[in-house]
Amino acid sequence: MNRRNFLKLIAGFLPAVALVRGQNAGESHKSYVMVVDVNKCIGCGKCVVACKVENDVPMDFKLSRTWIEGYAVKEKIPIEESDVKKEVLSTSKNPFLDKSWIETTRGRKTFYVPKLCNHCANAPCVNVCPVYARFYTKDGVVLLDKETCIGCKYCIVACPYGATFTHPEQKVTDKCTFCYHRIKRGLKPACVLACPTGARVFGDVNDENSEVSRLVKENRVAVLKPEWGTFPRVLYIGLDSYVVE
């Protein structure tokens, strides 16, 4: 094959490649986002229990796909470590109902921050996975292929939010999937459904009429650890980012 024929062959391929790429670009995909209103969260733990029931995570296991962090802050600029008291709810037992926590919150500004996998648009766990077990779906959800996962725990080290953990029975890593099997059936994720105050709202931001679009438009939203450049899909309203790690 001389050079002329080779170039002709390449030129023949180019329109085909352009056609395929054009088809992909023309498809409009959903862009799922969760908006969490910190002012509305009361720390009841219904979301944690619902998530564990829906996704087969052991109830007594200290780690969870979603958990609630309670912060009790002295009403001044927190300088010392003792100014901020922190408690974590991750099982069916609620530590926020204990007498010790109630006494801690007296005279302090208290708020509860629900946390889960942030489904980052630039996810560190996807970047470090050596066997390509973590991947993005077309609608932006970060999923974990448990058959390919070898349990090396690189993702646990890489995740700045601590949202991934080793499942005690399956011995591979586990994380929130935004209840992918539910949202594709048109249902809400289990934690959103179980939230009694409507602190968690889930939906498609590409849809102009959805509630998340309205919330993002009307409120100032913040993300956790923006300095990591992960571009999370979990947005917080009323987040005290001075205190929350």
Non-local CB neighbours of 134 within 8 Å, separated by 6+ positions: 123, 125, 126, 142, 143, 144, 145, 155
Binding test (CB under 8 A) with another protein, winner from 63, 88, 128, 143: 143
Q: Site map for another protein, 189-218, x if CB under 8 A?
A: -x--xxxxxxx-------------------
Binding test (CB under 8 A) with another protein, winner from 31, 63, 137, 223: 137
Distance spanning both ends of the chain, measured CA to CA: 62
Q: How far is the CB of 8 from another protein (least distance, A)?
A: 26
Asked if 161 is part of the footprint of another protein (rule: CB under 8 A), the reply reads no
Q: Which of these segments, 19-27, 140-148, 159-167, 225-233, binds another protein (CB under 8 A)?
A: 140-148
CA separation (Å) from 197 to 84, 142, 150?
Answer: 25, 27, 39
Burial 55-80 (b: 16+ CB within 10 A, else e): bebeeeeebbbbbbbbbbbeeeebee
Binding test (CB under 8 A) with another protein, winner from 31, 63, 83, 101: 101
Q: Which is nearer to another protein, 163 or 191 (CB)?
A: 191
Asked if 145 is part of the footprint of another protein (rule: CB under 8 A), the reply reads yes
Asked if 54 is part of the footprint of another protein (rule: CB under 8 A), the reply reads yes
CB of 209 closer than 8 Å to CB of 94: no
What is the token pair recorded at 82? 């003792």
CB of 7 closer than 8 Å to CB of 206: no
Q: Site map for another protein, 61-100, x if CB under 8 A?
A: ---------x-x---------------------x-xx---
Q: Which is nearer to another protein, 104 or 228 (CB)?
A: 104
Asked if 42 is part of the footprint of another protein (rule: CB under 8 A), the reply reads yes
Q: What's the angle, vertex CA 163, arms to CA 109 and CA 111, rounded to 5?
A: 10
CB of 135 closer than 8 Å to CB of 143: yes
Name the amino acid, one letter, at 215.
L
Q: How far is the CB of 225 from another protein (least distance, A)?
A: 22
CA separation (Å) from 115 to 1, 84, 88, 169, 188?
Answer: 60, 18, 10, 23, 17
Binding test (CB under 8 A) with another protein, winner from 60, 77, 132, 209: 132
Q: How far is the CB of 235 from another protein (least distance, A)?
A: 19
CA separation (Å) from 165 to 27, 78, 216?
Answer: 34, 30, 30
Q: How far is the CB of 17 from another protein (least distance, A)?
A: 17
Sites of contact with another protein (CB under 8 A): 39-46, 50, 53-54, 70, 72, 94, 96-97, 101-102, 105-106, 108-112, 131-133, 135, 137, 143, 145-148, 177, 179-182, 184-185, 187-188, 190, 193-199
